[in-house]
Structure 1
Amino acid sequence: MKNLVILGAGTSGTMMASHLVKKLPKKEWNITIIDQYKTHYYQPGFLFLPFDIYTEEQVKKTGSKFIPKGVKYVQEKIELIEPEFNKVVLQDDKTLNYDILIIATGSKIAPDEIEGMEGPEWQKSIFDFYSYEGAKALRDKLREWKGGKLVVHITEMPIKCPVAPLEFAFLADSYFKKKGMRDKVDITYVTPLDGAFTKPKATKALHHLLEEKGIKEVTSFNIERVDYENNKIIDYADTEVAYDLLVTVPTNMGDELIERSGMGDDLNFVPTHKHTLQSKNHDNVFVIGDATNIPTSKAGSVAHFEAEILEENILRYIEGKTLKEDFDGHANCFVETGNGKALLIDFNYTQEPVEGTFPFPGVGPLKLLKENKMNHLGKLAFRWIYWNMLLKGIPIPFVSSKMSTKGKRIEQTA
């Protein structure tokens, strides 16, 4: 028997288990998935938790219930990957040999990377919403907060879902309006980018929304430290932004396992071929989702598109065939804009978000780069799709893994 081992039972790992258990001959292959955590989180829901839009129960479930039959589930901490020996070492020194390894260990926040961020004010006046604990603590804070200077801040790129901090700012505007205290809250959006987003076309639309909602924008801000004693963040150019409540997106890094194993870059992301999803350094190792260093959005939709392509490439690898260079960096993201509306953006490595219709050309029903209620409903529907389709490896009808140009006003970039 041959062994395929998946590291991580989050979004990407669970999807790959669901895809491959249907394809690999059971008499020839054992599939094992390893994760130390019992709980599976719906991470897009962390955005809604602070505003009491979602409950705790809606964003977390027992992870084992999503592991498909026929896949062995090992709930233990992974100590080391030894790719030269095709071996994974667990915390209790137990080892698992593999013929094929899939790394789906995700990414996590590292607030300790910035001086003063994870200090005595962490989860008191300084919060994140990229972790379950952070989002829940922020919810409790917002319920009783009386107003002041709210700063929504990004430390550095890459981060999970690059639009999420913008969504937070938009939802905060809506949240405080509903509470009748928007006039008591000054919202500032602070980013290391030179605009609201990584793509020019979307940046223009999103900047317009920031202006419309009275949200100040500070760009090109590369944070050096948090002065929690004086309630301000300071960048390397000595620019200061004052806050009463700081909602920050800390540095995002790959799992420490990758660093221990000597397989990552400076941020512990695994060097990965951006079109095949094969490790650049080890032929029988494949990487998916947030664990990769590929230049696309770290978002659930991307992992979903990657899974469909990686499934085929693993089968081709087993058969000794040339891998397909089919992944184009496709990302499809709903952007919550508050007041029951959202934008939809669809882009890839070479094509920035443009206007048009999705998924059907000229019909929609979803509009690209247009703020409306239908896109908001699409965002909310994604939670059901996630739990009931994506994790089970069921394709979303009419949505292809490669970006379609049909129905879009294409302006080709480099």
Structure 2
Amino acid sequence: MKRLLILGGGTAGTMMANKLAPVLDANEWQITLVDQEETHYYQPGFLFIPFGIYNRNDVIKPKRDFFPSEVEVIVSTIEEIQAADNRVKLSNGKVIHYDLMIIATGSRIAPEETEGMTGEGWHKNIFDFYTLKGAEALRKFLKFWEGGKMVVNIVEMPIKCPVAPLEFVFLADWYFTEQGIRDKVEIELVTPLPGAFTKPIAAKFLGQFLEKKNIKLTADFNTGRVDSANNKIYSWDEKAVDYDLLVTIPTNMGAEVIGNSGLGDDLNFIPTDKHTLQSKQYENIFVIGDATDLPSSKAGSVAHFESEVLFENILRYIDGRPLKPDFDGHANCFIESGFGKGILIDFNYEVEPLPGKFPLPGVGPFSLLQETRMNHWGKMTFRWVYWNLLLKGAEFPIEAQMSMAGKMRQ
């Protein structure tokens, strides 16, 4: 019997297991999934925890609730991927041989990569919100904070969910207003990007939002070190920004085992064909989600659109047919803007976010690059969609490839 091995049981790995298990012949293929944790985290929900909108129970569930019964699940850390020999060595000593492998090991924050980040200020007045632990610690801090200067700093790109730092400052503006201390809080977004976003039209639109909400933007700031004793961050060219509260989006990296196994780049992301999702190094390895080095967003919507293309290409690979170069970098993201409103962006490798209606031209019900209450409810209902449909590999009416229908060219 042949083995399809899936490394990683997060969003992307779970979707692929659910899509492939019903269609692969169980007499020919054994699907094995390896993950080091039993708990599944709804990572988009971490953003809401510091502001008391969600709590721990809203963002965690047992992973086994979402795995197909016919999939062999092994809970273990991975010691080494020996791709040249088609095998994976686990920390429990077991060696798994495979014929075909999908790597969905995701990405993680690496605050230790920045000098001084995890020093005496860590989780005292320096916090992340990309982990459950960090988000909960920040929630406790904000509950009793009386004001000062809050700096939200993106250390370097790429990061998971590139719009999350913007959402954080928008929600902070709302939260401090609700607490009656907005006039006592200075909010500054410090980013290595040349603007609020990577694409010009969206960057202009979102930059106007920052100005309207009295949020300062410091661009082209490449963070080199943190001086927690004096509450300052320094760029590599020695520019300084001071803070009372630092909310950091640290360096994001792929799984350590990717680097240790010689499969990744400097940040442990795997060189991947950006259209077929096949590894550039090994033809029987495919990569999905945050583990890739693709120039697309590291976001859940991207993993979902990738899964549609990868599902087809896995079946084509098994049948010996040519792969389809169908992934176009499609991403769409709801951006929570505070006060019960939100913004939606939809884009791909070639087309930047544009205004318009989504998904139905002229109808919506969602509006692109506009702040609406409907977009807010789209964001808030996504948690139900995630737990009940997305992870289970359900079909969606939205195509994997981005459509220009309903978009207004600028």
Name 1:269's counterpart in structure 2.
Answer: 269
How far the C-alpha of 1:38 sits from its partner, in A, is: 1.2
Counterpart mapping for 1:387-406 below 5 A? 387-397=387-397, 399-406=398-405
Counterpart mapping for 1:42-191 below 5 A? 42-191=42-191
Name 1:407's counterpart in structure 2.
Answer: 406
Name 2:2's counterpart in structure 1.
Answer: 2
Q: Helix, strand or coil for the counterpart of 2:217?
A: strand
Opposite residue 215 of structure 1, the aligned amino acid is I
Q: Helix, strand or coil for the counterpart of 1:48?
A: helix
What are the superposed Cα offsets for residues 35-89 of structure 1, whole Å, 9 maximum, x if unpaired?
0111100000000011011111000111111111211110111111001110010
How far the C-alpha of 1:13 sits from its partner, in A, is: 0.4
Opposite residue 376 of structure 1, the aligned amino acid is H
Name 1:354's counterpart in structure 2.
Answer: 354
Q: Helix, strand or coil for the counterpart of 1:230?
A: coil
How far the C-alpha of 1:224 sits from its partner, in A, is: 1.0
Structure 2: 5+ residue stretches without partners? none
Kept in 1, the 8 Å contact 2:358–2:367? The answer is: yes
- The separation in 2 between residues aligned to 1:410 and 1:22, in whole angstroms, is 41
What are the superposed Cα offsets for residues 284-307 of structure 1, whole Å, 9 maximum, x if unpaired?
000000000000000000000000
- The separation in 1 between residues aligned to 2:223 and 2:302, in whole angstroms, is 28
How far the C-alpha of 1:385 sits from its partner, in A, is: 0.5
- The separation in 2 between residues aligned to 1:276 and 1:407, in whole angstroms, is 27
What are the superposed Cα offsets for residues 133-177 of structure 1, whole Å, 9 maximum, x if unpaired?
111111111111111000011000000010000100000000000
Opposite residue 406 of structure 1, the aligned amino acid is A
Opposite residue 403 of structure 2, the aligned amino acid is S
- The separation in 1 between residues aligned to 2:347 and 2:395, in whole angstroms, is 19
Opposite residue 225 of structure 1, the aligned amino acid is R
Opposite residue 379 of structure 1, the aligned amino acid is K
RMSD of aligned Cα (Å)? 0.7
- The separation in 2 between residues aligned to 1:410 and 1:28, in whole angstroms, is 49
Counterpart mapping for 1:18-37 below 5 A? 18-37=18-37
- The separation in 1 between residues aligned to 2:376 and 2:338, in whole angstroms, is 9
Q: Helix, strand or coil for the counterpart of 2:187?
A: strand
If the length of structure 2 is used for normalisation, what is the TM-score? 0.99
How far the C-alpha of 1:26 sits from its partner, in A, is: 1.1
How far the C-alpha of 1:395 sits from its partner, in A, is: 1.9
How far the C-alpha of 1:396 sits from its partner, in A, is: 2.1
Structure 1: 5+ residue stretches without partners? none
Runs ≥4 residues deviating over 2 A: none
Q: Helix, strand or coil for the counterpart of 1:121?
A: coil
Q: Helix, strand or coil for the counterpart of 1:180?
A: coil
Q: Helix, strand or coil for the counterpart of 1:171?
A: helix
What are the superposed Cα offsets for residues 315-358 of structure 1, whole Å, 9 maximum, x if unpaired?
00000000000000000100111111110000000000000100
- The separation in 2 between residues aligned to 1:396 and 1:334, in whole angstroms, is 17
Q: Helix, strand or coil for the counterpart of 1:273?
A: coil
- The separation in 1 between residues aligned to 2:23 and 2:362, in whole angstroms, is 36
Kept in 1, the 8 Å contact 2:120–2:229? The answer is: no
- The separation in 1 between residues aligned to 2:120 and 2:230, in whole angstroms, is 13
Percent identity (aligned): 61
Opposite residue 188 of structure 1, the aligned amino acid is E
- The separation in 2 between residues aligned to 1:141 and 1:8, in whole angstroms, is 33
Counterpart mapping for 1:327-338 below 5 A? 327-338=327-338
Moved more, 85-94 or 246-255: 85-94
How far the C-alpha of 1:410 sits from its partner, in A, is: 2.9
Kept in 1, the 8 Å contact 2:269–2:293? The answer is: yes
- The separation in 1 between residues aligned to 2:52 and 2:27, in whole angstroms, is 48
Name 1:314's counterpart in structure 2.
Answer: 314
Opposite residue 401 of structure 1, the aligned amino acid is A
- The separation in 1 between residues aligned to 2:401 and 2:409, in whole angstroms, is 15
Opposite residue 22 of structure 2, the aligned amino acid is K
How far the C-alpha of 1:237 sits from its partner, in A, is: 2.0
- The separation in 1 between residues aligned to 2:387 and 2:269, in whole angstroms, is 26
Name 1:342's counterpart in structure 2.
Answer: 342
Q: Helix, strand or coil for the counterpart of 1:151?
A: strand
- The separation in 1 between residues aligned to 2:75 and 2:238, in whole angstroms, is 46
- The separation in 1 between residues aligned to 2:121 and 2:232, in whole angstroms, is 12
Opposite residue 159 of structure 2, the aligned amino acid is I
What are the superposed Cα offsets for residues 208-230 of structure 1, whole Å, 9 maximum, x if unpaired?
00000000110000111101000
- The separation in 2 between residues aligned to 1:237 and 1:29, in whole angstroms, is 55
How far the C-alpha of 1:283 sits from its partner, in A, is: 0.2
- The separation in 1 between residues aligned to 2:145 and 2:26, in whole angstroms, is 56
Name 1:220's counterpart in structure 2.
Answer: 220
- The separation in 2 between residues aligned to 1:9 and 1:216, in whole angstroms, is 39
- The separation in 2 between residues aligned to 1:360 and 1:326, in whole angstroms, is 22
Q: Count how many residue pairs are aligned between Structure 1 and Structure 2.
A: 410
- The separation in 1 between residues aligned to 2:70 and 2:94, in whole angstroms, is 22
- The separation in 1 between residues aligned to 2:139 and 2:399, in whole angstroms, is 36
